[in-house]
Amino acid sequence: MPEGTDTDLLLYGYWRSSSAYRVRIALNLKGLRYRQQAVHLVRGGGEQHDPGYRAVNPLGLVPALRHGAHTIVQSTAICEYLEETFPDTPLLPADAAGRARVRSIVQTVCSEIQPLNNLGVMAYLKADLGLAETAVAGWYAHWISRGFTALESWLETTDSGAFCHGDAPTLADCFLVPQVYNAERFDCDLGPYPRIREITARCRALPAFRDASPELQPDAD
């Protein structure tokens, strides 16, 4: 283990950021103690642009995780770091094929859905391209539908159990639930995705997921 203990974990995030939400779930599932530093993405033009935060993450994105002398950015890298550094309560399967499947679900969310619908993209569509709200909503729904259709087909296979992979939560669930939260915020139709809805409901009943919910965070407004 690198220098520091779990009590040295400091998570920079924003209550409604799905990327920070993923990391909170992973931290909670592993039973790790951590502190939070809010980075408000809207107030005053966005605190992520402040020089102080740019020194933490030059990209100006959340989340970032500080552990002792180390700072890790990007939610997938943070979760992989937690998995390797705190191996108790593993969030990746023991077999190579299982790990690859979980990572495929993770990458579908964080590469094929969320980046196309994040705060910066939505602002660009409205302010720079001048798209109407209905057009922006259509853009959002398109990428949710495309990604969720693929996820639903994978979650219908026998490799899935009570959760995305097997009968215990994995990183796949950590990434799925925040994306469903986003889809609900934007009134996307989740009717065609019964497995996604079923797994999400099961996850939300667990304290680790419930305590990570955006509305329960100290900076929620």
Q: Would you list the domain boundaries of the chain?
A: 10-90, 96-209
Confidence (pLDDT) at 5: 63
Same fold, 10-90 and 96-209: no
CATH architecture entry for 96-209 = Up-down Bundle (1.20)
Q: Quick one: fold of 10-90?
A: Glutaredoxin (3.40.30)
User: What is the C-alpha to C-alpha distance for residues 96 and 39, in angstroms, rounded to an integer?
Assistant: 36
Amino acid symbol at 169: P
Amino acid symbol at 71: T
Kindly state the helix (H) or strand (E) to which residue 9 belongs, with its residue range: strand 9-13
Confidence (pLDDT) at 17: 95
The one-digit pLDDT tens for each residue of the chain (221 residues) are 344 567 799 999 999 999 999 999 999 999 999 999 999 998 888 999 999 999 999 999 999 999 999 999 999 999 999 999 999 999 999 999 999 999 999 999 999 898 788 777 888 888 889 989 898 888 888 999 999 999 999 999 888 999 999 999 999 999 999 999 999 999 999 999 999 999 999 999 999 999 999 999 999 98
